[in-house]
Structure 1
């Protein structure tokens, strides 16, 4: 009901991004070998509790002075996973230590003792939000405390900042930063290839970075603080089929043969994978001084993964026909014998077979038993992903499931999702489709170097794992469970907290959830129907068990399903009505205060605003309101709805049948990054938040149903607004906003209708910047629910310590 359906990072910053992108390309071209030095440090991290010192809660904020702060403790609303994990890296220096990277939700550290993940990049804020896209991770093989991350979300201009190398000497609790002269693409095509970042196993002062978009190979000799381009490397990684290199995966992995060096010296033999179907693998045998294409390397496919077995002097590569991660259909697995120079194709299903419809990725070697290797499908949508295992260096393979008498499959695994029951995605098993699925794009799979029975892979709800992997070899059943405790990477599109009801979240990729218990994973996603992404969600303020949501899916794939769904039991169950023709996108939807009617602006370009009496059994076009407007309802008067469209505010007093433009002026001129919300219990009380840096940008308030708006002074920029229980002794609801106030970005609360504000987060708890969506709790003063950037749903409560 409140969002324009477009994240600020994809649009609000586009102009600045494009300018910055051109500058970055220029730097990379004119000074390709210039050393890059470290420039900054991150705040110290602790648990998810903010310890900022409280100040007077009544101080008046102004652009010239930062507002005071209030002490808060933050915690994730438990879902478990939901996002896309792009890489898993085990420490070879300490048992029970691993790291995982995600495309938009930062980086996490695995604690094997507690079997939990700890987020490591919650200090990332508005100015460097792209650091939440992690392109690669490397852990020192000799020092458990040392870890590095290559960060940056996009190479196509959306992320205004260059990529960076983060380095930590305390397992990611604190970081130092070196900014690179080019962009990285943690959320670009090819993001599951790698690892791009690699540490010399004999000397962890030496690191290499395989860069995308024609930026070549880079090296550090001082532990990741300074970097210079390796000018001797003969392939820039620039694909001529991708002009400008924005979508070019470039160089994609670096792998060392540890046996060709000794402690304290540089490893001599180094392999580099390049997204070049003609020259996919390069090698140096003199510690990186000279490089050449590896003779006889297989051509025609892209090398997704490269892993070295230093005991047997073998290089394994897994290839596919695209960079992925969600496309591709052919590929091979190869073994290179460094002693003889021979290549052997060891594909479980060779690319020449019609049975290869997936390509390969997710390659791993058992460090305790190097002859044991595993590989996964680059992408296999039907009936599920496949994992293969070999205990003889690829001479023979067995697979995690096999076909039985049609339509049945024989499984070598049991997948227990008792702690994450929503991972069925609301489906029932219907052979050959079985739920839960192990995963369609098994692109990261790692065997614990300290325990051959333990493996993690990017499957199920995010990461899945097993502790009895070796039972596979004796005909036993491998027990798989989700390993997502603490890993919260969902993309949140909306949050509502009806009075007396549970928190409801609109989500990307997983439809959405009803959160009956903030500390337990939901039982199921929103179904009937399931949306690919739920764009908008609302409830009837005076009849709060009535919920409506609207979302996306391809209409051609699911004829008969509606892009709007309704619930009359607070989101426990759902049903659908009809819809106007040609709808594929959810857009913006709102429920009347009494739940008796609904107004909907579908998200497809030019789709008119429509209204329905009852639960969408029929829809009638509304008059006087432009297509694709942002819709919300008055929270008292069931006949009153509001609409915002490109700077003009509209009001309806006949249940959405007709709208009239008001005379209000001074509002942002675009729908981008706009939120419109009406205050519970106060007819005609409306807030507008949003805008863009190149136009009007701020927070506005109306008490006359949008006839006039007053800009809230002291709020330089605002991206959203939410309401919660009033402070003790106050009549007006507590306000929450993600904003720039007094020159400081953060999450703020006001107890006096916006006259003054307090910051409730701190620099260690920025969660990727100002939250995209937030709401207060109508029953708990001070509680706020919000979304971190790719960090799922979080909530904060006032804290006495």
Structure 2
């Protein structure tokens, strides 16, 4: 569904000679390729699958293209360094399909410093040679197009240990690799190469500088004396005349703080071109850097990062047309969409120097008239969908909206059209939307919960007119202020009546639209691990709103606490343990790998996915039937999500049932039209989205589900 951007695009990579061939990498949402015919971005990593071995590769650390072959593109992937070693993905058709090989070190596409780079480069003269700067284990080289890798111990053999990696926020390591060549396709490997080293690895490896140079293709390395020490080099670029432009900034980013310095470097001497110093109220640094042309007329675009606000005198993107002698601001206080803050990558279009783009926390913006005295800017996010959806709820047929989408960073939104960016929201700004629900007999009444990110303040909100207007709940239930995690749930039984389960808390109920809350009798949840959230999942019976169901998944696989279901028959005031759920021996599992849903057309008709298997109850949880078609395989969940939607015409069961799980060893989305007797796979291998964390089904359109991929926003089927 259309939102547009919604997440951090960490880098833009142009092919140097093929016009309009541009790739975007993101921190949690995979990679995209620009499609000039439709002026939109095409996702190129939706085929990445689910599970611990797959979904984390939607964190893209670096992208590299082959200057000699515009079909060939490489991606270095891995979301966090603590998750294990990364991968190198290789495509010979611009990302339409991929193969991959393991890398012998971890990567961190969503760690701090994720916009620095590029770390991965292809030798323009001998493209079978690749280099990659790792975060924790120095510099690596491949001479067989990325199939095998060797650490360049001539620079350093040091590997950061776990404590060093943690202290360095995931490790920054070797942040940039740059070739010193203006030729390509010669067949002889480029001999002069630069590697920028972050302060953490300089210290661990006992290096002498934050910049090293090899003049023999990487066989040996020598330190380069730099004018700034103890800082990061987020970007280093080579102009056509061989001059290097190098940015130094104190912090790693995102929103890399300063002080920042831009120098030009001719291989022996440094010339200061631009300084950005901290001020009393902010800490600006340098982020993105791009050059076009050569000599005295070199155009330089420079991102000033960690500056917030849009006003005359602000610095966001600085432009020089004389190799850095003079500068002017081309973004702040200019017409259009201005996006300060995380300006950590800037690119000048190599085929059109008036076309300049930069990244930010919500996607990409661009100007196509950079030479104008007042360049105009607009978002370039068509096709990029990176919001992190945390919960979705769909109303009954005939409601004035399609769904309520609660998401990280952008808050809660009410969607009325799959093709249009939503406009209805509770006005919480930069916030996390954690949970929402609606009154089935009165879907204009919506209640939601979240947290204001700037202050970490919990908030509840409600609408009585389908999301057109909103108000804050007068009070919060016990536990909500202290526990603002996404493991939260809300069940609405009628207008003004709701049950709210904050993360790690005993649920409470209100009968007066949040003016007051009363705790339920549900048992407190034991802590299963430091920082490991858990919570009750709540659903209201849509045929009999006096019935409310609460599911405790046990919190974690290692908790040894089987899952349990509790049932209320008084609108969520008090609950009784379902003995049938105890007899079912539900597996202990984490919040985010479990799910519970009700059939809105039959009282007491419940479906539950406990991470290992799928269960069905037709007697309000008194007894449960295990559906044996779903079973975990190769470490992938047997059943993690279940949703019910509009039934197929003439079907024997009153709802279509959709399950995310594994059947006969194949993970995917499965649908049943006969109450679970038979299942067919609903998605395919090209539509896996790095896993699915949230799912809801439409009650007006048969065959339509809404799913969240790994950082891929909210997707829908037809």
| TM-score of the aligned structures, taking structure 1 as reference length | 0.79
- Pick aligned residue for 1:620 from 496, 505, 518: 518
Aligned residue among 376, 380, 383 for 1:486:
383
Residue matched to 1:325: 254
Return the offset for 1:600: 0.6
Partner of 2:8: 84
Does the alignment pair 1:248 with 2:144? no
Q: CA deviation at 1:246?
A: 7.3
Residue 167 of structure 1, aligned match among 68, 76, 90: 90
- For 2:110, the equivalent position in structure 1 comes to 187
- Residues 483, 122 of structure 1: CA spacing in aligned structure 2 closer, same or farther, 3 A cutoff? same
Q: Counterpart in 2 of 1:608?
A: 506
Q: SS of the residue aligned with 1:177?
A: strand
Counterpart pick for 1:653 among 563, 569, 572: 569
CA deviation string 1:115-160 (max 9, x = no partner): 2111111110014222211100011223211211111111113xx5
Report SS of the residue matched to 1:335: strand
Contact kept? 2:319, 2:329, Cα under 8 Å: yes
How big is the shift at 1:275? 0.8
Displacement of 1:629: 2.2
Match of 1:668 in 2: 587
- What SS is found at the alignment partner of 1:715? coil
* Residue of structure 1 equivalent to 2:342: 441
Report if the CA contact (8 A) 2:276-2:285 is conserved. no
Residues 228 and 796 from structure 1, CA distance in 2 versus in 1: closer, same or farther, beyond 3 angstroms?
A: same
Structure possessing the higher relative contact order (Cα contacts under 8 Å, 6 or more residues apart): 1
- Indicate the residue corresponding to 1:290 in structure 2: 220
Deviation at 1:378, TM superposition (A): 3.2
Alignment of 1:143 onto 2:69:
yes
Q: Which runs of 5+ in 2 are unaligned?
A: 203-207, 526-534, 555-562, 632-637
How many pairs are equivalent?
668
Q: Distance in 2 between matches of 1:598 and 1:784?
A: 25
**Residue matched to 1:705:** 620
- CA deviation digits over 1:392-418, x for unaligned, max 9? 22222222367xxxxxxxx2x2115xx
Give the match for residue 151 of structure 2: 229
> Are 2:520 and 1:590 aligned?
no
SS in 1 for 2:405: strand
Q: CA offsets per residue over residues 400-448 of structure 1, 9 Å max, x none?
A: 367xxxxxxxx2x2115xxxxxxxxxxxxxxxxxxxx413111111001
| Matched position secondary structure for 1:563 | strand
Residue by residue, what CA displacement relative to the aligned partner does 1:193-223 show, whole Å, maximum 9, x if unpaired?
A: 110111222332222111111x221112233
Instruction: Report matched runs for 1:750-789 at 5 Å.
Output: 750-769=672-691, 771-789=692-710
Q: Quick one: structure 1 residues 117 and 531, their matched pair in 2 at CA, closer, same or farther if it must change by over 3 Å? A: closer
- Residue 721, structure 1, aligned to residue 638, structure 2: no
CA RMSD of aligned residues (A): 2.4
1:335 is displaced (CA, Å) by 2.0
Name the structure 2 match of 1:634: 541
Secondary structure at the aligned position of 1:438 is classed as coil
**1:318 Cα deviation from its structure 2 partner:** 1.7
Q: 1:355/1:532 Cα in 2 relative to 1: closer, same or farther (>3 Å)? A: closer
TM normalised by structure 2 equals 0.88
Aligned residue for 1:565? Answer: 461
Q: Offset of 1:511 from its aligned partner?
A: 0.7
Task: Work out the CA distance in 2 between the residues paired with 1:246 and 1:337.
Answer: 33
> 1:367/1:124 Cα in 2 relative to 1: closer, same or farther (>3 Å)?
farther
* 1:190/1:325 contact within 8 Å kept: yes
CA distance in 2 between partners of 1:350 and 1:588 (Å): 42
Q: What corresponds to 1:517 in structure 2?
A: 417
Residues 199, 356 of structure 1: alpha-carbon distance in 2 compared, 3 angstrom cutoff:
farther
After superposition, give the CA deviation of every residue in 1:569-589 in whole Å (9 maximum; x if it has no partner): 222322111214634516433
- When residues 261 and 118 of structure 1 are mapped into structure 2, their CA distance, relative to the original with a 3 A threshold, is closer
Retained in 2: the 8 A contact 1:362–1:442? yes
* C-alpha contact 2:260 2:275 (8 A) present in aligned 1: no
Q: Which residue of 1 aligns with 2:634?
A: none
